[in-house]
Copies of this chain bind each other. A is one copy, B any other.
Amino acid sequence: MLGLGLIGGSLARRLARSHDVVGHDSDAATRQAAEEAGLGVAGSVAEAVAGRDLVVIATPLPAVGSVLAEVAAAGTPAILTDVASVKAPVLDAVRAAFAGGPRYVGGHPMAGTERSGFGASDPRLLDGAPWVLCLEDDTDLDAWLAVAGLVTGLGCRVVPCSAAGHDAAVARVSGLPHLLAAALALAGADGGPLALALAAGSFRDGTRVAGTRPELVAALCDANRSALASAFDATVARLAAAAEDLRSGGTVADLAAAGHGARQGWVALPIGGERSRVRTSDPGLRGALTRLGAAGGHVTAVSGGVLDCWAPVHRG
């Protein structure tokens, strides 16, 4: 486990219950705290990765490149995964760091808190979380299944999708909400004390995530630059059209109705889930997993050569 912050520390502590885990962190105080918490800790990246079945990169995003270089200098790991919140840039970095390998499976556990660091880590943090595991056209299926087995063994739901698909989705449901919240907070502040005195529930909810540390927001958004810019453009165009409609004496009824429908479609609980099983030996496995993730489904278990899958079933 390379990086023992909130996610890496939580995952290392959880995995240490059932696996032989060695962690490393570039920060000496973090290494000491991890040792005091009973984790096996190595003094260097090379020492941490030597002879391991799986290497997990769990550093902050800006440090991924340099850690990859250290891993590569120590040799090619059997299987490599990571927990970064954007996936295409990490995939590119892995391809640049290793010629022709390693067996890399990009990962993103969708859990977190506003806190950070090993001191905030908790072996239960990731319990039940959705966990994206990237499946590219050239991803080694055995490596993917090995990581999926580990992750489902923690009680997490594995969502299969490509790095590009992941990044496009989180641009819409995470990056964009943070930037709209920032813009709304500024629009309110521009109205001065009177506007802020009249602000209530809709302003409070719409600006809540603007309370996130701005350097985290910028890191998340900047790293997902291309996907976010695309999602952004369509949204800005929609808002500009509504503003123009208003200005020319028209109505925002269409935007309000379409937005209402979209929101109701999201909150409407599926009427149920459809369970299915796929054999790991199935020659159509890669396509089945890709379709499962695209349908909003996930893998719940990998055991005895069989994947248990779940997909939502919606009304109508």
Q: Which A residues are within 8 Å of any B CB, using their own CB? A: 110, 130, 132, 159, 161, 165-166, 168-170, 172-174, 176-203, 205-215, 217-218, 221-222, 225, 228-229, 231-236, 238-240, 242-243, 246-247, 249, 251-253, 255-260, 262-267, 293-298, 312
Q: In the complex the two chains form, is A173's CB within 8 Å of B266's CB?
A: no
Determine if B203 and A256 form an interchain contact, defined as CB atoms under 8 angstroms apart: no
Contact B132 A188 (CB under 8 A): no
Inter-subunit contact A262/B203 (CB<8 Å):
no
- A contacts with B: majority SS: helix
Among A229, A232, A253, A262, chain B packs the most CB atoms within 10 A around the CB of A262
Residue of B179, B190, B209 near A239 (CB, 8 A) is B179
Structural contact, A266 and B196, CB atoms closer than 8 A = yes
Across the interface, which residues of B come within 8 angstroms of A196, CB to CB?
173, 265-266, 296
Contact between B179 and A202 (Cβ–Cβ < 8 Å)? no
In the assembled complex, how far is the CB of residue A173 from the closest CB belonging to chain B, in whole angstroms?
4
Query: Quick check: B236 and A179 within 8 Å, CB to CB?
Result: no
| Residues in B whose Cβ lies below 8 Å from that of A185 | 259-260, 262-263, 266
Inter-chain contact B259/A183, CB cutoff 8 Å: yes
User: Are the CB atoms of A260 and B212 closer together than 8 Å?
Assistant: yes
For the complex formed, measure the closest distance between the CB of A67 and the CB atoms of chain B, giving whole angstroms.
22
CB–CB B231/A187 < 8 A: yes
Given contacts A179-B255, A229-B247, contact A191 B206 (CB under 8 A): no
- Find the B residue at minimum CB distance from A242: B179
A218-B253, A238-B186 in contact; A296/B200 too (CB < 8 A)?
no
B198–A235 touching, CB < 8 Å: no
> Contact between B239 and A239 (Cβ–Cβ < 8 Å)?
yes
Q: Which chain B residues border A236 with CB–CB below 8 Å?
A: 236, 239-240, 243
Minimum CB–CB distance from A230 to chain B (whole Å) comes to: 9
Alpha-carbon distance between A195 and B262 when the two chains are bound, in angstroms: 13
Of the candidates B203, B235, B265, the one whose C-beta lies within 8 Å of that of A187 is: B235
10 A-B pairs closest in CB distance = A182-B259, A193-B296, A210-B263, A214-B256, A173-B199, A169-B195, A185-B262, A197-B296, A189-B262, A218-B253
* Given A173-B198, A186-B238, 13 extra CB contacts under 8 A: A168-B191, A169-B198, A176-B184, A177-B184, A177-B206, A180-B180, A184-B235, A185-B262, A188-B266, A193-B296, A214-B256, A222-B252, A225-B249
Please give, as numbers and ranges, the residues of chain B lying within 8 Å of A173 by CB-CB distance: 188, 191, 195-196, 198-200, 202-203
A245 to B75, CA, bound (A): 38
In the complex with contacts A188-B262, A197-B296, A242-B238 CB distance below 8 A = no
